[in-house]
Structure 1
Amino acid sequence: MSTYESTRNRVETYFDRTATRTWERLTSDAPVSGIRATVRAGRDRMRDLLIAQLPDDLRGARVLDAGCGTGALAFELALSGADVVGVDVSPQLIDIAEKRQPEHVAGSLTFKSGDMLDPALGDFDYIIGMDSMIYYDAADITRILGDIAPRLREKMVFTVAPRTPLLMMMWRAGKLFPRSDRSPTMVPHSATRLAKALPTGTLRKIERVNSGFYISEALEYRP
């Protein structure tokens, strides 16, 4: 099994067996602890940043929300007129997204449990991957972008864990002291190195969001 499939399976197991309720609460309006509040605030800022990279009027555009979780980003895209497919490896998170789905949206909204690389999902004008690729190494991210490129008409915006001293220290500690009950380990990346590794297309930095215990960097890929 490749590292991509093994990592994807670890992420699915974690969210379906360990973190579903935590994630459901974090992505709601329910009160959360101070640490989780910083994560919620950071994710809200990142979601707004990624959406801002797409046109304001998305009528007629087909958009893939890759790693849609409980659906917050997909809802906003559909309300803006996009035809949205939200896909996530976790069936339980998809169940939550379907229950939260607004009754009326300007575009269309479909949720699926599965792999974001599944060619059966079809072609897209835009793809957003918010914190869905943070567990993959550079070879996997290169593969993901390469597999998606033939089905991408405009661009993909996504996030990675940036290569900072703190995150590198945490990553090395995780490698030294693995725990089976802990979430999959984020893999810090240099956007410059990722760009050089791409066989085709261009990659550019958008912005970094740092909010307490949340840190993530937005990137734009054009095939």
Structure 2
Amino acid sequence: MTAYDRTLSRVETYFDQTATKTWERLTSDAPVSRVRETVRAGRDRMRETMLNTLGDVRGKRILDAGCGAGQMTHELALRGAEVVAVDISPSLVEIARKRLPDALSHQVTFHAGDMLDSALGDFDHVVAMDSLIYYDAADINRSISTLFQRTSCKIVFTVAPRTPFLMAFFGMGKLFPRRDRSPVMIPHAPKKLARLVDGNLRSVARISSGFYISECLEVTK
């Protein structure tokens, strides 16, 4: 089993068995703790940033890679895109499916599985919001390169940036046995990723909201 497959398995187990209810609540309008409010606010800002980076998506075929509970999928469909929404967690895919308004259902195809699956087809754009944050640089490079071969315009994705706070968090995570802990974000320096990722990579924006710290990157031909 490769490093990518091992991480994929941990992420699937975590979100499909351990964190489904927490994630469902966080991505709804339900009351949450102050800490989770900051995460929710940060994710909302990041989602809007990524959507603005894509521009006009009317009629575009877009892969929502790691769709989670479907907030990005919903927004893309509202803006006129044809969306393939994929997530490794069948439970989250089902939540996303139930939340999508019937009026938008003809624009969205849901799929539970690996976002790199070639059977998903070709795309104008790919968005991957917080779905690559658990992978090392080599696996991010492999993932982006694989998707880039089937993408005609751009890939917009997020990474956990190498801030002092996230590096400390990452270091603390290593203290726990891997089998006993949830997947830990791996911080990256975008400039180093740029040397690995095929295509033209640039940093779009960094969003920092309490415990939510994420950097939006785009790759173009």
Q: Is the 8 A contact 1:87 1:116 kept in 2?
A: yes
Offset at 1:169?
1.4
TM-score for the superposition, normalised by structure 2: 0.97
Unaligned runs of 5+ in 1: none
Equivalents in 2 of 1:20, 1:116: separation in Å? 19
Q: Structure 1 residue 66 and structure 2 residue 78: aligned?
A: no
The within-5 A match list for 1:1-223 is 1-56=1-56, 58-105=57-104, 108-178=107-177, 180-198=179-197, 200-223=198-221
Alignment RMSD (CA, Å): 1.3
Offset at 1:96?
0.4
Equivalents in 1 of 2:33, 2:179: separation in Å? 24
Q: Is the 8 A contact 1:127 1:152 kept in 2?
A: yes
* Partner SS for 1:136: coil
* Partner SS for 1:105: helix
Offset at 1:173?
1.6
Give per-residue Cα distances to partners, 1:31-67, cap 9 Å, x unaligned: 00111110000000000000001123x2221000000
Equivalents in 1 of 2:181, 2:43: separation in Å? 20
Unaligned runs of 5+ in 2: none
Q: Is the 8 A contact 1:127 1:156 kept in 2?
A: yes
TM-score for the superposition, normalised by structure 1: 0.96
Offset at 1:101?
0.9
Offset at 1:107?
6.8
Offset at 1:206?
0.4
Which of the pair is proportionally richer in helix?
Answer: 2
Structure 1 counterpart of 2:195, one-letter code:
K
Structure 2 counterpart of 1:16, one-letter code:
D
* Partner SS for 2:64: strand
Offset at 1:181?
4.3
Equivalents in 2 of 1:178, 1:51: separation in Å? 37
Farther off after superposition, 18-27 or 172-181: 172-181
Equivalents in 1 of 2:106, 2:54: separation in Å? 15
The alignment-based identity, stated in percent, is 60
Q: Is the 8 A contact 1:65 1:87 kept in 2?
A: yes
Equivalents in 2 of 1:189, 1:72: separation in Å? 25
Offset at 1:180?
3.6
Give per-residue Cα distances to partners, 1:118-161, cap 9 Å, x unaligned: 00000000000000000000000010011111101000000000
Equivalents in 2 of 1:179, 1:152: separation in Å? 34
Equivalents in 1 of 2:45, 2:58: separation in Å? 24
Equivalents in 1 of 2:123, 2:105: separation in Å? 18
Number of corresponding residues: 221
Q: Is the 8 A contact 1:14 1:183 kept in 2?
A: yes
Give per-residue Cα distances to partners, 1:48-95, cap 9 Å, x unaligned: 000001123x22210000000010110110111100000000000011
